Structure 1
Amino acid sequence: MSASVSVPAAVRGDGIQPGPKPMIEATQSTAAVAMLWVFVVAPFVALLAAIPVAWGWGLSALDAGMAVAGYLIAVAGVTVGFHRYLTHGSFKANRPLRLVLAVAGSLAVEGPPTEWVADHRRHHAFTDREGDPHSPWRYGTGVRALAKGLFYAHCGWFFNKEVTNKARFAPDLLADRGIRIVDRLFLPLFAVSLLLPALIGGLVTSSWTGALTGFFWAGLVRMALLHHVTWSVNSICHVVGERPFNSKDKATNFWPLAILSFGESWHNSHHADPTGARHGVLRGQIDPGARLIWVFEKLGWVHDVRWPDPVRLAAKRNDSSAAALRVAAR
C-alpha cells in the first residue's frame, strides 16, 4: 500500500492529522507477531473447549456472574469508549468518564486506545479499498478470495507488521497526557482483565479449583467471545447483511450480533453516519451502546451528543421512499 495516499478532507474532522505524514509509522517485530498469535489462538481454543470442560466441572454462578460483568465492562469500553467517543467524537465526556472509558476499553485487550483509534480512523478513511487495514475484499470477489479476505479481516490483519501512524491518524490522543498513561498501562490492564477473575474465584471459594474455573470462564472464554464478536464487525459486517443506507462502501447491518456487539453490528448505518451516537437508527434496531450514552447524558456526564438526524439519514436511504424512514427514539 502506498504511503503517499492522502486522507479525504471529510475524515479529518475525526481527528486525523492532514499533511504529508506517512500512513505507516513502523513495522511490528517478529516477537510481537508471535505474541499476537498466542493472544488470538489461546482464547479461541479455550472457547472451543468450553462444552467438554463444563461437562466435567460445571459452571458456577460466580464464574457466570464474573464473565457477564467483565464482558459488559469491556464491551462498553471498546464500543462506546474507544469507538463512538474517542474515534468519532459522537459525544463529549467529562474528564473522569473519558479516562474510565479508556481503561474499560483497554480491558477488552484489543490494543491500547491510541493504537485502536488510529487503526479505526484509517479504516474509515479508506474503507474497502487500498489503505483499509482490514477489508475482507482485499483479495477480490471470488469465493476463495473472499474466504481468504474474511479470515484476514476477522483476525489475520493483526499479523500484518505495518503499524498505523498514530501521529497522522490520532494526534489528538497523542496530545492527551491521560490517554498516553492509559496507553502505557495496557499490559498491566491486560493482566488485570485475564487474572482478576482467577483471584476473585480463588478467594471466594478458598480453592484452586475456583481460581482455575474463574480464569477459564471469566478470563479466557469471556475474552474470546468479546474478541470474535468485535472482529465479526470487521469481517461479517462488510459481507453479509442489509444495506438500507448509501455508505459508499460494503458495510452491512447484521442483526444477529446487535446485542452482543452493543449495537456495533448496525454497521451500514454507522458508515452512513460515522459520528452518530446511535448506530441502530431504525425502529426495532436494538443498540445497547446508544442506551448507555443516553444514561450518561441524563446523569450529566456527557454532552453535545450527536443523536440521529432524520433529515440527514433520509437523504442517505438506498430506496427512494424517504418517508418510510422511522428513526429510533433516543
Structure 2
Amino acid sequence: MTVADSPTRTKDPGTSGPKPLIDGTRGLPQQVGVYVFVFAPLLALLAAVPFAWGWGLTWTDVAIAAVFYVISGLGITVGYHRYFTHGSFKTGRPLRIVLAIAGSLALQGPVHVWVADHRRHHAFSDKEGDPHSPWLFGTGPAALVKGFWHAHMGWLFDRSKTNAKRFTPDLLADKDIRRIDALFTLWGSATLLLPALLGGLLTWSWWGAVTALFWAGLVRVGLLHHITWSINSICHMWGNTPFAARDRSTNVWALAIASFGESWHNLHHADPTCARHGVKRGQIDISARLIWIFEKLGWAHSVRWPTTRRLERLAKAG
C-alpha cells in the first residue's frame, strides 16, 4: 500500500465508510492569513522590476535572497514533499525537525496541512476530489483559463480544509511536528525578519535591513510560491509525458532548476515514492542530489532510488 493510496482507505472507528475529504472550514483568522501570505509577496514580486531599476537592489540582497530561497525551497521539495508526503527516504529525528522548519520558512502552510493537501491531490489526481487540478472545469478555452487560475492559486481561497485525520494521521501523532506546526507564525516571522537582520548587519544600515526585507523576504517568498504553484498548474497542462501516469502530469524542463527538480512531474506521478524525479540523462534534480548527500553522510537511509527495471515498466510503449 502506497502513501498515495492509504488515505483513501482510512476509516472512522465503528463506521463502514472512508473518512470525508473535507474537515470543516478555515476560520476567519486563517482565511485572512491565506490572503496576506499570498498577496503580500505577490505585490512585492510585481513591484520588484521597477523598484530594481531605480534603487534598492544590491549584491547583498541577492546573496541573502539566494540563501533563503535554497533553504526554504529545499525544505519544501525534500522535506514537505519527498520525505513527509511520500516517504521517499527515512531519517532520524534531528534532520526530520530541520526539514520541517526549513519547509515552514517557505510560508506555504504548516507541515500537516501541506502534506494533507498533497496526499489528497495524489489520491484523486485530475479527478473530482483533487484540490488543485486544472481539468475540473472542462477543456474549452474559457474552462482552461479558469482551470489554470484554480490550479495555480485560486484553490488556496477555498475555505474548506482537507481532512488531516484522514490524510495525515502519522503527522498528527508526531509530537515534534505538532510543536513545529503550532509555531508556524514564528517561522513565518523569522523567514521575513532574519533576512532583514542580516541585511542590516552586513551593511550596518537601516536601509540595508529594509532592502533585504523586500528582496530576500517578500520577493523571495513570492517567487518560491509561484514556482511551487506552477507545478500544480503548468505541470498538469503543458509538457511531455514519457511515463505512464494515471493523470495529466507532465515534465517541464524550463522549471527544473528553479523548482529543484520538481518539474519532472510526470515521473513523479508515475512513481510517487521515488526519491529522484529527473531520471533521464540531463534532467537536473537538485533535490535528489541533496538526498544522495544525506545518504552518503549517513543522515538518510532506505532511499527509494529508481531502478532500470521499474523505469522500463513505467515508460510509455513506443
Query: Cα distance 1:12–1:63, how it changes in 2: closer, same or farther (>3 A)?
Result: closer
Distance 2:5 2:291 in 1: 21
Residue in 2 that maps onto 1:106:
104
Q: Percent identity over the alignment? A: 60
Q: Is 1:62 aligned to residue 60 of structure 2? A: yes
Distance 1:65 1:245 in 2: 37
Q: CA RMSD in A?
A: 1.4
Query: Cα distance 1:73–1:148, how it changes in 2: closer, same or farther (>3 A)?
Result: same
5 Å matches for 1:149-228?
Answer: 149-228=147-226
On the 8 A contact 1:14/1:121 being kept in 2, the answer is: no
Distance 1:10 1:103 in 2: 25
More divergent stretch after superposition (241-250 vs 196-205): 196-205
Residue in 2 that maps onto 1:4:
none
Residue in 2 that maps onto 1:298:
296
Q: Unaligned regions of 5+ residues in structure 1, if any?
A: 1-8, 321-330
Distance 1:77 1:124 in 2: 20
Q: Aligned match of 2:10 in 7, 18, 27?
A: 18
C-alpha distance after superposition, 1:137-169 (max 9, x if no partner): 111111110111111111110110110011110
On the 8 A contact 2:37/2:107 being kept in 1, the answer is: no
Deviation at 1:16, TM superposition (A): 6.5
C-alpha distance after superposition, 1:19-51 (max 9, x if no partner): 232111110134432332222122112112112
Distance 2:184 2:93 in 1: 19
Q: Aligned match of 2:114 in 116, 120, 137?
A: 116
Distance 1:274 1:15 in 2: 14
Task: Output the amino acid matched with 2:149.
Answer: F
Deviation at 1:14, TM superposition (A): 5.8
On the 8 A contact 1:134/1:234 being kept in 2, the answer is: yes
Q: Is 1:76 aligned to residue 74 of structure 2? A: yes
Distance 1:84 1:301 in 2: 15
On the 8 A contact 1:78/1:105 being kept in 2, the answer is: yes
**Number of residue pairs matched?**
312
On the 8 A contact 1:17/1:169 being kept in 2, the answer is: no
On the 8 A contact 2:7/2:120 being kept in 1, the answer is: no
On the 8 A contact 2:3/2:86 being kept in 1, the answer is: no
Deviation at 1:58, TM superposition (A): 4.2
More divergent stretch after superposition (143-152 vs 22-31): 22-31
On the 8 A contact 1:238/1:252 being kept in 2, the answer is: yes
On the 8 A contact 2:88/2:274 being kept in 1, the answer is: yes
Deviation at 1:223, TM superposition (A): 0.5
Q: Is 1:33 aligned to residue 25 of structure 2? A: no
Task: Output the amino acid matched with 2:32.
Answer: A
Query: Cα distance 1:12–1:205, how it changes in 2: closer, same or farther (>3 A)?
Result: closer
Residue in 2 that maps onto 1:147:
145
Q: Unaligned regions of 5+ residues in structure 2, if any?
A: 12-17
TM-score normalised by structure 1 residue count: 0.91
Task: Output the amino acid matched with 1:214.
Answer: A
Distance 2:33 2:177 in 1: 24
Distance 1:173 1:35 in 2: 22
Residue in 2 that maps onto 1:230:
228
Q: Aligned match of 1:130 in 98, 116, 128?
A: 128
